[in-house]
């Protein structure tokens, strides 16, 4: 399996990701994935990255901001992975896109043995939002309309008018509708904010913890199960 992450500098965003975060993420994912694994980071600065292959960051949609303001991440560049030629970009026909602040805590192999063309995490903190863009798995080219139908500001407004939040994940909801295959807490993909902190879900019942948002990150919470990788 090829796992893909992104790292680039975004002016105004309060979280800065570093080579150490890439390396730690890749080490942790490799430890808990029992199959053959390859790690790729799409980046504008590969300095210090030793645990993943670096792919130069493309410039598509680089000027588009998050509609909620500069303090929120603008991830429209990631939509390029839905293009027909994504397999050529990444060097894999089947791949997982995963945020650098996703942290495994148990074996994750089974999560990625699913056979659907596309699987995405359903964010439990946004009931009106069908998907979270921080984790998805794709057979390249099978959801090409996500890329081909994206028209910049007009598409952003269309997604926002439907009440969808975020940048690329709002467009995923608009372009794909609500019926794609998902991971939820039932499969062990959990929200740190909601499931671990608020609902006190035992960590031993989880596989992959999503540190979405700005307040908590694996390298800041001071818990050894994730901080040890950085």
The secondary structure of 156-167 as a DSSP string is: HHHHHHTT--SS
Answer yes or no: is pLDDT of 148 > 80. yes
Instruction: Report CA-CA distances (Å) from 96 to 38, 119, 135, 201.
Output: 10, 9, 7, 25
Residue 11's pLDDT is 76
- Write down the number of H helices and E strands in the chain: 6, 10
**Which residues are CB-neighbours of 47 under 8 A, at least 6 positions away?**
19
Q: Write the pLDDT tens digit of every residue in 39-59.
A: 999 999 999 999 999 999 999
Q: What percent of the chain has pLDDT over 90?
A: 87
Residue 10's pLDDT is 81
Answer yes or no: is pLDDT of 71 > 80. no
Q: Model confidence at 213, in pLDDT bands (50, 70, 90)?
A: confident
- CA separation for the pair 117, 140 (Å, rounded): 8
46-50, 79-83, 129-133, 181-185: least confidently modelled range: 129-133
Number of domains in the chain: 1
How wide is the angle at C-alpha 127 spanned by C-alphas 122 and 128, nearest 5°? Answer: 105
Q: Is 99 exposed, middle or buried (0-12, 13-18, 19+ CB in 10 A)?
A: buried
Q: Model confidence at 69, in pLDDT bands (50, 70, 90)?
A: confident
Cα-Cα end-to-end distance for the chain:
23
Handedness of CA 124, 127, 133, 139 (dihedral sign): positive
Q: Tell me, what CATH number does 57's domain have? A: 3.90.550.10
Residue 225's pLDDT is 95
Domain of residue 153: give its range: 2-227
Residue 150's pLDDT is 98
Residue 141's pLDDT is 97
User: pTM score, two decimals?
Assistant: 0.95
Question: If you average pLDDT over every residue of the chain, what do you get?
Answer: 94
Q: Please choose, from the candidates 62, 186, 56, 182, the residue with its C-alpha nearest in 3D space to the C-alpha of residue 172.
A: 182
Residue 86's pLDDT is 97
Residue 73's pLDDT is 84
Residue 127's pLDDT is 79
Q: Write the pLDDT tens digit of every residue in 115-144.
A: 999 999 998 888 788 999 999 999 999 999
How wide is the angle at C-alpha 226 spanned by C-alphas 73 and 76, nearest 5°? Answer: 15
List the beta bridge partners of residue 182.
Answer: 120
């Amino acid at each position: 399996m090829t796992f893909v992450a992104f790292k680039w500098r975004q002016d105004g965003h309060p979280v800065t990701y570093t080579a150490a975060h890439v390396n730690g993420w890749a080490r942790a994912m490799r430890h808990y994935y029992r199959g053959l694994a390859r790690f790729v980071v799409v980046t504008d600065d590969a300095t210090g990255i030793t645990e993943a292959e670096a792919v130069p960051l493309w410039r598509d949609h680089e000027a588009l901001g998050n509609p909620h303001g500069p303090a929120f991440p603008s991830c429209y560049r990631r939509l390029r992975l839905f293009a027909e030629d994504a397999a050529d970009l990444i060097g894999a026909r089947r791949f997982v896109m995963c945020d650098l602040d996703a942290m495994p805590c148990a074996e994750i192999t089974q999560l990625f043995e699913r056979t659907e063309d596309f699987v995405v995490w359903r964010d439990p903190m946004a009931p009106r939002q069908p998907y979270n863009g921080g984790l998805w798995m794709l057979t390249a080219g099978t959801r090409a309309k996500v890329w081909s139908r994206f028209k910049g500001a007009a598409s952003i407004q269309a997604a926002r008018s439907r009440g969808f939040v975020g940048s690329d994940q709002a467009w995923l909801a608009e372009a794909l509708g609500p019926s794609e295959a998902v991971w939820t807490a039932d499969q062990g993909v959990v929200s740190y904010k909601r499931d671990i902190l608020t609902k006190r879900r035992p960590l031993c019942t989880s596989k992959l913890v999503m540190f979405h948002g700005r307040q908590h990150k694996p390298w800041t919470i001071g818990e050894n199960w994730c901080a040890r990788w950085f």
